[in-house]
Amino acid sequence: MRRMRLVIIGGDAAGMSAASQARKRLGRDVLEIVAFERGHFTSYSACGIPYWIGGVVAERDALVARTPDEHRKAGIQVRLRHEVTGIDLDRREVVARDLDGGGEVKTHFDHLMYAAGASPVTPDWATDRGAGIFGVQTLDDGAAIQEWLARDPAPRRAVVIGGGYIGVEMAEAMVRRGLRVTLLEKSDQPMAKTADPDMGALVRQAIEGLGIEVRTGAAVEGIDTEGGRVRAVVTPGGALPADIVLLGLGVRPNSALAEQAGLPVGATGGLRTDLRMRVEGVDGVWAAGDCVETRHLLTGRPAHVPLGTHANKQGRVAGINIGGGYATFPGVIGTAVTKVCDLEVARTGLTSKEADSAGFAYVTATVASTSRAGYYPGAETMTIKLIAERRTGTLLGAQIVGKAEAAKRIDALAVAVWNRMNVEEMTALDLSYAPPFAPVWDPVLIAARKATEAVHASL
Which residues 6+ apart lie within 8 Å of 328 measured at CB?
Answer: 275, 276, 317
DSSP of 169-201: HHHHHHHHTT-EEEEEESSSSTTTTTS-HHHHH
Question: What distance in Å separates the CA atoms of residue 421 and residue 423, rounded to the nearest whole number?
Answer: 7
Q: Establish whether 47 is a catalytic residue.
A: yes
Phi and psi at 399, nearest 5°, equal -135, 145
Instruction: Say if strands 31-37 and 104-108 run parallel, antiparallel, or are unpaired.
Output: unpaired
Q: How many CA atoms lie within 13 A of 333 on its CB side?
A: 21
Question: What distance in Å separates the CA atoms of residue 33 and residue 452, rounded to the nearest whole number?
Answer: 53
Question: What distance in Å separates the CA atoms of residue 321 and residue 332, rounded to the nearest whole number?
Answer: 20
8 Å CB contact between 128 and 110: no
8 Å CB contact between 329 and 317: yes
Query: Among 360, 369, 372, 457, which residue's Cα sits nearest to residue 417?
Result: 360
Phi and psi at 54, nearest 5°, equal -80, -5
Q: How many CA atoms lie within 13 A of 66 on its CB side?
A: 16
Question: What distance in Å separates the CA atoms of residue 388 and residue 247, rounded to the nearest whole number?
Answer: 34
Query: Among 138, 116, 135, which residue's Cα sits nearest to residue 47?
Result: 138
Which entry of 4, 30, 47, 234 is annotated as an active-site residue? 47
**Helical H segments across 323-418, by residue range:** 352-358, 410-418
**Helical H segments across 247-343, by residue range:** 256-260, 308-322
8 Å CB contact between 173 and 212: no
Cα 183 to Cα 54, 178, 215, 254: the distances in Å are 16, 15, 6, 27
Question: What distance in Å separates the CA atoms of residue 340 and residue 199, rounded to the nearest whole number?
Answer: 13
Helix axes 197-209, 165-176, angle to 10 degrees: 10
Question: What distance in Å separates the CA atoms of residue 334 and residue 346, rounded to the nearest whole number?
Answer: 10
Question: What distance in Å separates the CA atoms of residue 317 and residue 288, rounded to the nearest whole number?
Answer: 9
Q: Could you tell me which residues are beta bridge partners of residue 78? A: 35
Residues marked active site are found at 47
